[in-house]
Structure 1
Amino acid sequence: MEEETGKEPNRAELFIVSRTKSDESLLCNEARFTLDKLSQVMTQNIQDEASKTSTESRPYDAFEQVFGYEPSGRVRCMGRGVTPSKYLLNHESMTSNTEILEMKTRLKGLEEKLDIVTDALLVLVKSKSQFQVTASATTGNKKVKTDLHQSSSINSDQENGILRTGI
């Protein structure tokens, strides 16, 4: 099953596969009600996850929602060696890895946007400094030009109504 989908199956998927034959019929009629309920809960969880409206503490586990909490010391449908703490730690680390990948993707997109804004700002600053140089040359102003950063900070301070006194 893992080879087909490329991901490890969860307990609900294992339960469904273990109760159906290769021709998609059920092994026993008693399992029909449980499988229907399990499929319904899985579908609801997918919809809740997509809309982020689920309020369950662990909404990902449809198996637990249908069958109730695990007896202490075991995890159903996961084999003999899996304990509840190992199962939860594994699932939490997979969830964390997914969140980390999403954040890295978002960070990469934000960095690209920052590069675009930085390039646009540099073009704007260069065009403004060229405008100031040509304006002072045409008026015959003999003042010594100061650093672009200083002149822009003075201009912004004047626009904001701040007076520099040299203190």
Structure 2
Amino acid sequence: MYIETHKKKDGSFVTDEARDIAKQIEVLIAQNEKNESGPSTNDAIGKVFEEEHSGRVRCMRLGATPTNTFRNINHPSQLMMLRTKLLHRQQEEHHQTEALKIVKTLFNIALKID
């Protein structure tokens, strides 16, 4: 995101400093063996810019905070909550599928009566 937002329409960087920072980010991304796709305090942006101001998260939307961006979903209670949400959504989908089958059947019956 940083790289794209610091380029002009012609593809050149807005400043020499922006170009240098983008090169550092690209090098770190290329060296990253984990291939992380999500935000992290230790990702390429975090390494290049170092620590962000307290309560802020660089390159994220307005309102992003370290707590809601980097929350630990590996905690057992978080995992249980996510599993429960997934189970409820799967059950809802199953009920909707069954209801749709009933509606189709009733529609077909109504067509045969007329």
TM range (shorter): 0.5 to 0.7
Match of 2:24, as an amino acid?
Answer: K
2:49 matched residue in structure 1: 67
Alpha-carbon distance, 1:49 to partner: 1.9
Distance change in 2, residues 1:59/1:43 (3 Å): farther
Return the alpha-carbon distance in structure 2 between the equivalents of residues 59 and 80 of structure 1. Answer: 17
RMSD, aligned α-carbons: 2.6
2:21 matched residue in structure 1: 34
Give unpaired runs (5+ residues) of structure 2. Answer: 80-114
Aligned pair count? Answer: 71
Superposition pairs of residues 1-167 of structure 1, within 5 angstroms = 14-45=1-32, 48-49=33-34, 61-89=43-71, 92=73
Whichever of the two has the greater Rg, that structure is 1
Contact kept in structure 1, 2:41 and 2:70, CA below 8 Å: no
Return the alpha-carbon distance in structure 2 between the equivalents of residues 23 and 66 of structure 1. Answer: 25
Query: Which TM-score applies when normalising by structure 2?
Result: 0.53
Distance change in 2, residues 1:74/1:59 (3 Å): closer
Deviations 1:74-117 (A, max 9, x none): 1112132100111113x858xx8xxxxxxxxxxxxxxxxxxxxx
Contact kept in structure 1, 2:8 and 2:14, CA below 8 Å: yes
Return the alpha-carbon distance in structure 2 between the equivalents of residues 32 and 92 of structure 1. Answer: 35
Distance change in 2, residues 1:92/1:43 (3 Å): farther
Match of 2:46, as an amino acid?
Answer: E
Alpha-carbon distance, 1:59 to partner: 8.1
State the secondary structure of the residue aligned to 1:20: coil
Task: Show structure 1 runs of 4+ deviating over 6 A.
Answer: none
Deviations 1:53-84 (A, max 9, x none): xxxxx686110011112221111121321001
Return the alpha-carbon distance in structure 2 between the equivalents of residues 28 and 92 of structure 1. Answer: 38
Give unpaired runs (5+ residues) of structure 1. Answer: 1-13, 51-57, 97-167
Match of 1:80, as an amino acid?
Answer: L
Return the alpha-carbon distance in structure 1 between the equivalents of residues 30 and 19 of structure 2. Answer: 16
Distance change in 2, residues 1:60/1:72 (3 Å): closer
Identical amino acids, percent of aligned pairs: 34
Distance change in 2, residues 1:64/1:92 (3 Å): farther
